[in-house]
Amino acid sequence: MSTPTFPTYASFAELLQAVDAGEGGREILNPATGQRVGFADTDTVADLNAAVETARAAFESFSTTTHEQRCAMLMAAADAVDANAEPLAELLSREQGKPLNGPNARFEVGACSAWLRATASFELEPEVVVDDGQTYSTLTYRPLGVVGAIGPWNWPMMITVWQIAPALRMGNTVVVKPSEYTPLSVKALVHVINSALPEGVLTYVSGDREIGAALSEHEDVDKIMFTGSTATGQKIIEASAPTYKRLTLELGGNDAGIVLDDVDPAAIAEGLFWGAFINTGQTCAALKRLYVPDSIYDEVVDALAEFAKNVPMGEGLDENNVLGPLQNKAQYDIVADLVEKAKAAGARVVLGGEPDQEQKGFFYPTTLVADIDPDNALVVEEQFGPALPIVRYSTIDEAVEMANSLDVGLGSSVWSSNRERALQVAERLKAGTTWINNHGAVDPRIPFGGAGHSGYGVEFGVDGLKGLGQPHVISG
């Protein structure tokens, strides 16, 4: 067996020390306990400029490497992530708040190596577009240059990999700017991945919106991969316009799920629950509003409540928990406010809805709100937390109309025991993805992106790779 060339860390504390986050800088606290996790750098625009300069210099030779060489680097990066999976997961759990177990921190770190490997596996051959005896045209994708990767705080490691893996595979160099709420997880991940890359190819800058804005308008950055809110996405479009930057925008969503009247409520309860409550509801493509027919409304609500009431929520390092806190106070306030508005409008709280004021940390209980007006704020605004509104409908046309009534359209789902019926409804939904009998199952081979204000461009698969390349046609 060959000796690994990457470092391995025995604990999250060792890993933090290796990335120099043990002391000095901005204090980062665990959202579940308020305890200090570590310190984040407070980089300036000058630091950002230096990072872009480094990335530009590294681009010169990195862009001449072959796909084969870059795929080997991604595979080695995946090995390095796997070798450090436990300290990475522990750091993520402490900083983001998500539990180690369930579809949470360990799952997220596992997804990082899985996506690195999958991205290395895609075939991207030069395409002969026309060959008719008179014209011979080929289409290839060249590296674009320097890519800026700006990410959110909900799945900080996994989304960073979604952005950087295709960028690197296509021969670009990358400057990563993580969310100011989860900088340490991303710094540690970048450090581990860097053990498999030439120097300067992947750099990290810590900072808030000012640094993100500076990256978006930087004249020597060729593309921004952005995942975050719809409002910030719009600012990035504006900031990037003068330099004609390419953009992939994965923005906010408010995914609808439509249950058809032929389901077995008990059989779909678990799938509905995790569709809505994965990562304690802090997921872009989570089920955020559920439409259920009158004829089985009570059965579906009861089955969901029965499942939901037994799912343990608490501190992330406790191996029993699979739901955690909201990552930050601002998000907690949004969720609490939306549930209060639903209550004030007369909606029925079936589960949760009353946070324990004595509890430390930003915990909001698993909440199901039934008999809610379709225009209530909890339905039409993105809650991004553990509170699911369940709306009644009487005809499928009505359900489809309500599902399609918002300007966002990331994911959606249809739940039915009859695939043909489900497909007929799925085809009518305005969204980047419509899942049948699940919600939010992403796969590195399957393109993922938004409709409407949920963004544009796709990630994953060969289509995702193409988004990180400059198309070049040679015709003659």
Catalytic residues: 250, 284
Least Å distance, CB 150 to ligand NAD, is 5
Nearer to ligand NAD, 315 or 459 (CB): 459
Nearer to ligand NAD, 384 or 415 (CB): 384
In whole angstroms, what is the distance from residue 304 CA to residue 290 CA? 11
Q: Which two tokens stand for residue 411?
A: 């994911």
Nearer to ligand NAD, 182 or 366 (CB): 182
Least Å distance, CB 429 to ligand NAD, is 16
Least Å distance, CB 333 to ligand NAD, is 13
Tell me which residue has its CB nearest to ligand NAD.
Answer: 212
Question: CA Rg, the chain, in Å?
Answer: 23
In whole angstroms, what is the distance from residue 211 CA to residue 203 CA? 14
Q: Contact positions toward ligand NAD, by CB under 6 A?
A: 150-154, 159, 177-180, 208-209, 212-213, 216, 227-229, 232, 235-236, 250-253, 284, 382, 384, 410, 450, 455
Least Å distance, CB 185 to ligand NAD, is 13
Nearer to ligand NAD, 265 or 432 (CB): 432
- The candidate with the shortest Cα–Cα distance to 453, out of 234, 257, 281, 289, is 234
Q: Which two tokens stand for residue 266?
A: 């008990």
Least Å distance, CB 48 to ligand NAD, is 11
Nearer to ligand NAD, 293 or 409 (CB): 409
Question: In Å, what is the CA distance from 242 to each residue of 217, 238, 329, 469?
Answer: 8, 8, 35, 20
